[in-house]
A and B are shown apart, each in its own frame.
Chain A
Amino acid sequence: MNDIGEFALMVALATSIYGTVAYVMAARGNRIDLYLSADKVPFITWGCVMISSIALWKAFFTNDFSLQYVYAYSNIELDYFYKFSSFWGGQKGSLLFWVLILTSYMIVVHIQNRSKNLIVVPYAMAVMLAITVFFLLLLNFSTNPFERIPLPPEDGRGLNPLLQNYWMVIHPPTLYLGYVGFTVPFAFAVAALISKNLDDAWIRLTRKWTVVSWFFLCMGNLFGASWAYVELGWGGYWAWDPVENAAFMPLIVATAYLHSVMIQEKKDMMKVWNMSLILLTFVMTIFGTFITRSGLIQSVHTFDEATLGYYFLGLLFFIIVSCTALIVSRLSLLKSKNELDSFLSREAGFLFNNLLLLGIAFATFWGTIFPIISEAVRGVKITVGPPFYNQVNVPIGLALLALIGIGPIIAWRKATWSNLKKNFLKPLMFAAVGGAILFPIVPLSNRSEIYTYITFILCIFVLSSMLIEFYKGTMARYASSQTYLSALGSLIWNNKRRYGGYTVHIGIVMIYAGIAASSSYGIHTEKRLKIGETIEIRDYTLRYEKLAAIQATSVKTRIVAQLAVEKDGKRIWTARPEKEFYKGQNQPVSEVDVRSTMASDLYVILADFSEDESATIKVYHNPMVKWLWTGGWIIALGTMVSAWPDRLEQRRRLERLKLQKIVFSSAQG
């Protein structure tokens, strides 16, 4: 099976090279015979990559340690659940997984668009195939997952214990679905540039891909944060690690792109900007891969055998140079038909939203590469950690939060004073009242707490502006509906994109509130306890009951502490934090126990223990962490609503374009 897998990778490479050339030649020479021939390539490539993937999975499940990759990331005792995820646990498998997702997406794009646009689609397919060729070249000639060991060992080294967590089964695929997903809009953008079809057709063809990829990237980041929270055992969820930054940057740039395409769709403006943004989003996804696979930057997330830096650097260079040249050569065709009417308008709001989002992305990028710059300039490699990112990104993030509230309620084209007063008065009043109520309640003793207070006020402002929009729309429809609920349902159903977007914004507000509260008001305590002793935090008393050693498998031993958690004298929960010892690993892995409510998390860690059963227990009280995860699910709901197929939308768009054409021609004539 390994030979078949290896051979299938070679066939996939050969067919995808053929497909790239055939699609380009078919499009350039209008050769229908070549087009029909190339049309089969996505299926063949996907089939071959799938065969390779199945071969690798089979090797994991059958403990075939003759494969170096299986030996390095699995062992006989490893749970089947984690054997499945070991596939993407290392560099080689993760690259194969990347190609598997890319070729799967390619098939869907192919089926969706086969008969839609015969000028743009062949070029888009060629771009996607060319990217597939790059990854297949690496897999075949540089980092082959089917590399053999001449004398196979009896057992493998096993998967890194930190990766043996259910979030690590979900988090990487989700992130990859997002990363790879942006290949589709990028490919269509390049195809539009090459074929000079520079209206908004490519944006409409890829809108859902953009939304869905953005969603996966967003959820991938949140799942990663969840993993860090429960697995790394330091009480937090985000450490501004270079690899976390690498996943965060494309998300931020993609968010800017998602907003600015709306102006192109509505106003036929910002074409160059949108092209640049989608290029930048894709470049950032490759940059993320470069960071994890180059060995350039030290991180807990980088792959052990990070040796592919130069290849990815070459790819980045090629993409940036060729796409910039393409955009420059098409500048005359990318000229906007319309311009802004006023500084006080929703369009200008979008511009500032883009500026702030790119500001955050740039600050994060700058912080990530600054150690390298410092080393090059001064010969001193310094560290850029959370204090830098928090101090730089928090003020920008707050301005962005304000814009989330301003954007949906400021008028298109030009806001007048009366319009501003009408739309802003109520949200501002709610924010002022909320601020006044919170003022005596929340502590304001340091910079972080003041920022949090401002965040809360802005959250109230944004939330009220969103809810007022829902309220106004519902009331307008209530006359023709029987109940408020059906009016609300009909409002959302008939304007999925708009209200789906607002729902996403509500989720974002919850995430802001959760981050602000947990990072400012979190407290922790630590105590060495003997059986029967207690440790206190806020209103909770934790009584240490017992310590147990459990031989889970032949390679894993669990040491579990049991603590009774009491509040107001009543036992409300039993905490069981543990330490897991893996054979052959220097450091044990902490498995924390968390009691999570919307108000706060009680986060218990077994920091240390000794033979007399005494143990060091660390307890964190983190307020509102659950708001982050709940915000994530609200974002999921909003994205689902927004991306739901909408026949009405297409009809409305056509009617709108028709009306606009009449109006513009009469106004300009």
Chain B
Amino acid sequence: MVIHLKKISVVFFVVLFITIVNSSVASAGAILSDLENQLMCKCDDKCGKVLINCTCSTADKNRKKFTKMLESGLTVDQIVQQQIEKYGETILSAPSKNGFNLTAWVIPFGAIMIGGIGIRKLVNGWVEKKKPAIELKNIEGDAASESGGEKSSEVTSSKYSRRLKDELDRLET
């Protein structure tokens, strides 16, 4: 049952991931917004805002210019390329996904993955370390029940102690 559920979850997440990755970024009505989102405002005040967020007169002029360029048949990528040629990479609102800039995109996820693997190893190490102790206790318990007598009460006490510990763990502070 658990394995079955695991398989379904894996398939679900793979399908979801592919759907998200392959989905188109912008619908027809949002092309200008998409373009504005990719470019920075280049006003004299050096406002440092993404074009879509800027309300200065230069931004308004650029919006009008880009609307005309889109109407003339240029694509968003072509306009972006033109802007890069004119102003350099600083015109882009996010690093490109190639060359050195790729590190900007990869490193955060890489750090999380390394952290995740570290946590998994750490927790597994703790769990593995605890296993022999539990097994040893079980063997001692078996031996005690075989020999009967006084040790059986200790085993029972240990069992109840563990249960009590579990109950206490469920209590909130």
Contacts and interface: CB of A to CB of B under 8 A. Distances in A.
Interface of A: 232-234, 236, 239, 241, 262, 265-266, 298-300, 339-343, 348, 351-352, 355-356, 358-359, 362-363, 366-367, 370, 374, 377-378, 380-388, 391-392, 396, 411-413, 417, 445-448, 450-451, 454, 495, 497-498, 586-587, 590, 605, 607-608, 649, 652-653, 656, 659-660, 663-664, 666-667
A362 B112 CA distance: 9
B49 A590 contact: no
Interface centre among A241, A362, A383, A660, by most chain B C-beta atoms within 10 angstroms, is A383
Contacts of A351: 119, 123
Nearest to B165: A663
A653 B173 contact: yes
Interface centre among A385, A413, A653, by most chain B C-beta atoms within 10 angstroms, is A385
A386 B38 CA distance: 9
Contacts of B139: none
B165 A667 contact: yes
Contacts of B127: 340-343
Q: Is the interface of A mostly helix, strand, loop or mixed?
A: helix
A274 to B, nearest CB: 15
A667 B162 contact: yes
Interface string B113-153: 00110011001101101100000000000000000000000
B161 A411 contact: no
Interface centre among A233, A348, A351, A387, by most chain B C-beta atoms within 10 angstroms, is A387
Contacts of A659: 164, 168
Nearest to A359: B112
Nearest to B129: A339
A415 B16 CA distance: 27
Contact of A586 (B45, B100, B116, B126): B45
Contact of A233 (B40, B55, B88, B126): B55
A497 B119 contact: no
Contacts of A445: 23-24, 27
A608 B2 CA distance: 62
9 contacts: A236-B53, A265-B173, A339-B129, A351-B123, A359-B112, A445-B24, A587-B57, A656-B168, A663-B161
Given A445-B27, A659-B168, A381 B90 contact: yes
B93 A386 contact: yes
A383 B115 contact: no
B101 A607 contact: no
B64 to A, nearest CB: 10
Nearest to B29: A523
Given A341-B130, A653-B173, A359 B123 contact: no
A362 B111 contact: yes
Contact of A656 (B109, B126, B173): B173
A339 B20 contact: no
Given A299-B48, A447-B25, A666-B157, A382 B92 contact: yes
A445 B168 CA distance: 49
Q: Which 7 A-B pairs have the closest CB atoms?
A: A385-B93, A363-B108, A339-B126, A388-B94, A387-B94, A359-B112, A412-B169
B168 A241 contact: no
A380 B89 contact: yes
B48 A497 contact: no
A382 B168 contact: no
A603 B29 CA distance: 19
Contacts of A356: 112
Given A355-B112, A498-B172, A652-B173, A239 B161 contact: no
Contacts of B92: 382-383
Contacts of B116: 352, 355
Interface in B6-48: 16, 19-21, 23-27, 30, 37-38, 40, 45-48
A666 B171 contact: no
B166 interface: yes
A339 B100 CA distance: 41
A387 B88 CA distance: 18
Contact of B169 (A392, A413, A417): A413
Contact of B161 (A236, A451, A652, A666): A666
A531 to B, nearest CB: 22
Interface string B70-88: 0000000000000000001
A448 B25 CA distance: 8
Nearest to A343: B123
Contacts of A652: 171, 173
A241 B48 contact: yes
Contacts of B168: 656, 659-660, 663
B24 A387 contact: no
Contact of B20 (A300, A359, A451): A451
B5 to A, nearest CB: 10
Given A232-B55, A374-B100, 9 more contacts: A340-B123, A362-B112, A374-B101, A383-B40, A384-B94, A386-B94, A446-B25, A447-B23, A659-B168
A509 to B, nearest CB: 21
A610 B95 CA distance: 39
Nearest to B115: A355
Nearest to B57: A587
Contacts of A448: 25
Nearest to A269: B126
Contacts of A299: 48
B37 A386 contact: yes
B2 A417 contact: yes
B53 A388 contact: no
Contacts of A381: 90
A605 to B, nearest CB: 8
Contacts of A605: 55
Given A266-B173, A667-B161, A362 B108 contact: yes
Contact of A385 (B19, B40, B126): B40
A266 B168 CA distance: 10
A377 B99 CA distance: 12
Contacts of A340: 123, 126-127
